[in-house]
């Protein structure tokens, strides 16, 4: 959703008087309902069965009488079928899995480019200027105030330097060993004693904190922020350390320099977008595999275990020094 923003912004800038409706899944509804370039949302719950849900959604789209359907999902056949059945006059998207026959204009998909540009390519079918532009995140002043108050309860002053560590990922194969994170915390605390370390993540990742030594000087905010408040928290921090994850993209969107660890996925497609970020990856022959389960016969998760504690600490040190010079 964060990586869609340049495309949504380009649409709204080209057609400023348009009414832009986003079709999305319930998981991201709370994130997108305050998006600056989205006027309304249609939530695709898929809770009435495959065919009944499709028919009801098609009728709803038809009643809305849209002029243009921009199918930004790069591979979903269903997402191209819906505007076709709803008789939207102009339908653009990538020609993947036979979807081209459902669209009035299509282009070939390109998985060699960053996902931001993968979405923007579709807009070229509408002759829209797609000059690369920055990400955005749409947390509010209220979210920032909530984070300030939350940090104050942890005895963090407005002048304290903060590093954020996002411990979790949605795929096991993207996960760096929690013992490695513990070692990084210990070393950074020694190398930069004026820096405090904040942990972020969803409530589903609380078990990761429980695996850390209790002696580590951390501020544990896992499960204590909404996703918009997370944006405000990341903006408050000087550096973010994370594996390939959603919070990685939020950090990039709010301008926080990020050190990102990559294993089964490709930084060319998924690295933090923009400048000032560092990606760490290893030349393991089976990557990028895009597998949620590692299928190596030996040395499971080698692409992640090959990433050393020393190089991660060094990358964080460099970022911290750069922040001091910038200040």
The per-residue pLDDT for range 223-258, each reduced to its tens digit, is: 999 999 999 999 999 999 999 999 999 999 999 999
Same domain, 173 and 31: no
- Residue at 192 is within a domain: yes
Of 71, 94, 126, the residue that ends a domain is 126
Q: Last residue of some domain: 126, 157, 178?
A: 126
3-state class (DSSP) for residue 132: coil
C-beta atoms surrounding 224 within 10 Å = 18
Q: How confident is the model at residue 121, as a pLDDT?
A: 94
pLDDT band at 327 (very low <50, low <70, confident <90, very high): low
Which residue range(s) make up the domain with 83? 5-126
Instruction: Count Cβ atoms below 10 Å from residue 25 Cβ, excluding itself.
Output: 11
Q: What per-residue confidence (pLDDT) applies to 86?
A: 96
Same domain, residue pair 268 and 161:
yes
The count of domains in the chain is 2
If asked whether residues 249 and 174 sit together in one domain, one would say yes
Alpha-carbon distances of 131 from 10, 73, 111, 120, 275, rounded to whole Å: 9, 20, 18, 9, 16
**Predicted confidence (pLDDT) per residue in 47-99, tens digit:** 777 788 899 999 999 999 999 999 999 999 999 999 999 999 999 999 998 99
Residue 178 inside a domain? The answer is yes
Residues 15 and 71 in one domain: yes
Q: Read off the pTM.
A: 0.93
Q: Does 121 share its domain with 145?
A: no
Sign of the torsion angle spanned by Cα atoms 62, 65, 68, 71: negative
Same domain, 322 and 180: yes
Q: Is the pLDDT of residue 326 over 80?
A: no
Residue 197 domain flag: yes
For residues 244 and 213, state if they share a domain.
yes
Give the confidence band of 133 by pLDDT, cuts at 50, 70, 90: confident
Residue 131, domain member (yes or no): no
Considering the domain architecture, whether residues 180 and 263 belong to the same structural domain is answered as yes
237 and 304 belong to one structural domain: yes
- The CATH number of the domain holding residue 20 is 3.40.50.2000
User: Would you say residue 170 lies in a domain?
Assistant: yes
Do 107 and 153 fall into the same domain? no
Out of 91, 126, 161, a domain closes at 126
Chain segment 162-208, per-residue pLDDT in tens: 999 999 999 999 999 999 999 999 999 999 999 999 999 988 888 88
Q: What is the pLDDT of residues 9-52, one digit of tens each?
A: 999 999 999 999 999 988 888 888 889 999 999 998 877 777 88
Q: How far is CA 142 from CA 121, 157, 220, 232, 234, in A?
A: 35, 18, 21, 9, 15
User: Are 161 and 301 members of one domain?
Assistant: yes
Is 135 domain-assigned?
no
Alpha helices, DSSP H, located in 127-245 = 141-153, 178-191, 206-210, 227-236
Residues 118, 15, single domain; the answer is yes
The answer to whether position 45 is within a domain reads yes
């Amino acid at each position: 959703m964060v990586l869609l923003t340049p495309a949504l912004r380009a649409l709204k800038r080209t057609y400023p008087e348009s009414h832009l409706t986003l079709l999305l899944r319930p998981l991201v509804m709370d994130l997108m309902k305050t998006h600056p370039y989205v006027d309304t949302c249609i939530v695709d719950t898929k809770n009435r069965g495959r065919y009944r849900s499709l028919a009801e959604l098609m009728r709803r789209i038809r009643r809305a009488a849209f002029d243009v359907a921009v199918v930004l999902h790069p591979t979903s056949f269903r997402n191209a079928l819906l505007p076709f059945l709803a008789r939207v006059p102009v339908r653009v998207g990538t020609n993947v899995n036979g979807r081209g026959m459902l669209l009035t204009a299509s282009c070939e998909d390109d998985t060699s480019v960053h996902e931001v540009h993968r979405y923007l390519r579709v807009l070229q079918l509408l002759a829209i200027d797609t000059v690369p532009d920055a990400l955005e995140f749409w947390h509010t002043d209220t979210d920032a105030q909530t984070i300030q108050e939350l940090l104050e309860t942890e005895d963090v002053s407005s002048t304290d330097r903060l590093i954020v560590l996002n411990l979790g990922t949605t795929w096991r194969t993207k996960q760096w060993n929690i013992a490695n994170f513990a070692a990084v915390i210990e070393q950074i605390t020694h190398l930069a004693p004026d820096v405090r370390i904040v942990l972020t993540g969803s409530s589903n990742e609380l078990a990761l904190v429980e695996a850390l030594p209790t002696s580590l000087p951390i501020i544990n905010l896992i499960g204590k922020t909404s996703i918009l408040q997370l944006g405000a928290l990341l903006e408050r921090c000087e550096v973010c350390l994370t594996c390939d994850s959603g919070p990685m993209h939020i950090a990039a969107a709010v301008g926080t320099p990020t050190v990102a660890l990559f294993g089964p996925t490709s930084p060319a497609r998924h690295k933090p977008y923009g400048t000032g970020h560092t990606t760490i990856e290893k030349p393991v022959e089976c990557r990028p595999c895009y597998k949620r389960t590692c299928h190596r016969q030996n040395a499971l998760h080698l692409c992640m275990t090959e990433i050393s504690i020393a190089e991660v600490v060094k990358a964080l040190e460099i970022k911290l020094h750069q922040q001091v010079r910038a200040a």
